[in-house]
Amino acid sequence: MSFQLCSSVWTNAKLITMDENNQPYGLISDGAIGVKDSKISWLGTMTNLPDTVIESSDDVIDCGGSLITPGLIDCHTHLIFGGNRISEFEKRLKGMSYEEISREGGGIRATVDATRAASEEDLFESASVRLQKLLDEGITTIEIKSGYGLDLENEIKMLRVARRLGEEFPIRVQTTFLGAHSLPSEHSGNSARYIDLVCKEMMPEIAKNALADAVDIFCEGIAFNLDETRRVFEAATELGLPVKIHAEQLSNQGGTKLACEFGALSADHLEYLDEEGIKSMARSGTVAVLLPGAFYFLRETKLPPIEKLRAYNVPIAIATDLNPGSSPSPSLLMMLNMATTLFNLTPEEALAGITINAATALGLQGQKGKLAVGADADLVIWDMEDPAELSYWIGNTKPTSIIIAGKLQVR
Ligand code: NIG
Ligand code: FE
């Protein structure tokens, strides 16, 4: 038998590589892609595809002109939570603001109560339903945050569920410790003591058990201030964990600039980000993760500074922010539509936001988010002619096939 370069090859496809090749979307219009041992092992035009590759591979699949994109990446979610916030939603519809609800002790704290009351098994089951919806849409990599436990036992419970989801689903799961999401009621009036706990007890224990791939904080008037953010970032850095931040969502606190001093992977939300913050992002290579679901659901009117982010070449990612309070949407393609209609991103920018730039926001650049030799063989096949169609439909768009680590997912 001749040397086998690929075990499977998909032929006659429009490859949306998202890799730089001077074409929009990194397009290879009449292409083929081969995989071996969970990686992409060959990719190019049909004309350049050697006969030996076809002859020696076990499986050749004719795509009949369909699109192939990289596996989609949701780089910011709060997938695991107990309960829901429907009554708070109704209050907001009557005019109460997200901040008012939070200051009254509702909001994140309500989900903390429900999450603490839920068993690990319950949390696994309810998160599985949401994760399956994302998988069915072509998401092959997801970030999952803790942040509704807010004590050691319950933060660990959430992160264990996240790790188990990564083991039992074919999806790659990146976990983030968000102990500094909100001040839990038992520490009311003493956030310094709680931050102590986060930095000195929770984070070291979580790092010791390899439960988190990164550390996040909510830096905001209703959450934690700049000094507290700095302490959390110092502790994370000491433990070798990369940082990211929920910043400038409701007001401009300067959290983004601080996060950039620590080489943050991403700064997320950013509606109130100023030019100084944007310049720091450009310097540190921090990805701007925009969350159109939260913008829409909280009826925010201040747009993130898209033009300036573009002008300074800050990479932009898009995510669901899936959570019960500000973005109850298990659809990343719905976010793609919103990123174009609400934020004026081009369909190409929006797609980069859930592929190549989302990979960078998770520190997975080179491995995920693009079609290139050596990258993980996560491919999604779509019965479409134009990649802009991915942001055109408002919801309920489904791929024809999903391949993760080279394996076709049976659905
Ligand atoms: O990303 N902004 C802070 N955290 C979440 C919301 C969490 C919640 O309301 O439960 C967010 O929007
Ligand atoms: Fe969030």
Do residue 324 and residue 234 come from a single domain? yes
Ligand lying closest to the C-alpha of residue 294: 1
Do residue 98 and residue 198 come from a single domain? yes
Report yes or no on 390 lying in a domain: yes
Report yes or no on 3 lying in a domain: no
Distance CA 297, CA 288 (A): 20
Report which secondary-structure segment, H or E, holds 10.
strand 8-16
Question: In the prediction, which pLDDT does 160 show?
Answer: 98
Report yes or no on 2 lying in a domain: no
Q: What's the N-to-C CA distance of the chain in angstroms?
A: 33
The rounded Å distance from CA 187 to ligand 1 centre is 19
Residue among 76, 88, 326, 327 to mutate when testing ligand 1 (max atoms within 8 A of CB): 326
Question: In the prediction, which pLDDT does 105 show?
Answer: 87
The CATH number of whichever domain residue 28 belongs to comes to 2.30.40.10
Structure tokens at 276: 């100084």
The rounded Å distance from CA 29 to ligand 1 centre is 40
Report yes or no on 1 lying in a domain: no
Q: What is the DSSP letter of 64?
A: T
The rounded Å distance from CA 76 to ligand 2 centre is 6
Question: In the prediction, which pLDDT does 216 show?
Answer: 99
Q: Kindly tell me the burial class for residue 161, based on how many C-beta atoms sit within 10 Å of its own C-beta (0-12, 13-18, 19 or more).
A: buried
Q: Kindly tell me the burial class for residue 386, based on how many C-beta atoms sit within 10 Å of its own C-beta (0-12, 13-18, 19 or more).
A: exposed
Q: What is the DSSP letter of 327?
A: B
Ligand lying closest to the C-alpha of residue 293: 1
HSE value, Cβ hemisphere, 13 Å, CA-based, for 258: 23
Q: What is the DSSP letter of 186?
A: G
Ordered per-residue pLDDT tens for the chain, 411 residues: 568 999 999 999 999 999 999 999 999 999 999 999 999 999 999 999 999 999 999 999 999 999 999 999 999 999 999 999 999 999 999 999 999 999 988 999 999 999 999 999 999 999 999 999 999 999 999 999 999 999 999 999 999 999 999 999 999 999 999 999 999 999 999 999 999 999 999 999 999 999 999 999 999 999 999 999 999 999 999 999 999 999 999 999 999 999 999 999 999 999 999 999 999 999 999 999 999 999 999 999 999 999 999 999 999 999 999 999 999 999 999 999 999 999 999 999 999 999 999 999 999 999 999 999 999 999 999 999 999 999 999 999 999 999 999 999 987
Count: domains in the chain: 2
The CATH number of whichever domain residue 175 belongs to comes to 3.20.20.140
Do residue 176 and residue 40 come from a single domain? no
Report yes or no on 33 lying in a domain: yes
Q: Kindly tell me the burial class for residue 393, based on how many C-beta atoms sit within 10 Å of its own C-beta (0-12, 13-18, 19 or more).
A: middle
Pairing relation of β-strands 244-247 and 266-269? parallel
Do residue 19 and residue 136 come from a single domain? no
Do residue 389 and residue 290 come from a single domain? no
Question: In the prediction, which pLDDT does 52 show?
Answer: 93
Residue among 84, 246, 320 to mutate when testing ligand 1 (max atoms within 8 A of CB): 246
The rounded Å distance from CA 210 to ligand 2 centre is 22
Do residue 169 and residue 255 come from a single domain? yes
Do residue 185 and residue 334 come from a single domain? yes
Do residue 307 and residue 376 come from a single domain? no
Ligand lying closest to the C-alpha of residue 297: 1
- The counts of H helices and E strands in the chain are 17, 16
What residues have a C-beta under 5 A from ligand 2, the ion? 321
Do residue 195 and residue 337 come from a single domain? yes
Report yes or no on 206 lying in a domain: yes
Report yes or no on 347 lying in a domain: yes
Question: In the prediction, which pLDDT does 2 show?
Answer: 66
Do residue 260 and residue 384 come from a single domain? no
| Ligand 1, residues at Cβ distance < 6 Å | 78, 107-108, 111, 218, 246, 249, 294, 321, 323-326
Give the ligand 1 atom nearest the CA of 269: 1
- Give the residue numbers spanning the domain of 314: 72-361
Distance CA 160, CA 165 (A): 9
Report yes or no on 377 lying in a domain: yes
The rounded Å distance from CA 322 to ligand 1 centre is 9
The rounded Å distance from CA 326 to ligand 1 centre is 6
pTM of the model: 0.98
Report which secondary-structure segment, H or E, holds 408.
strand 407-408
256 with 269: CB under 8 angstroms? Answer: no
Do residue 77 and residue 113 come from a single domain? yes
Question: In the prediction, which pLDDT does 411 show?
Answer: 79
Do residue 57 and residue 157 come from a single domain? no
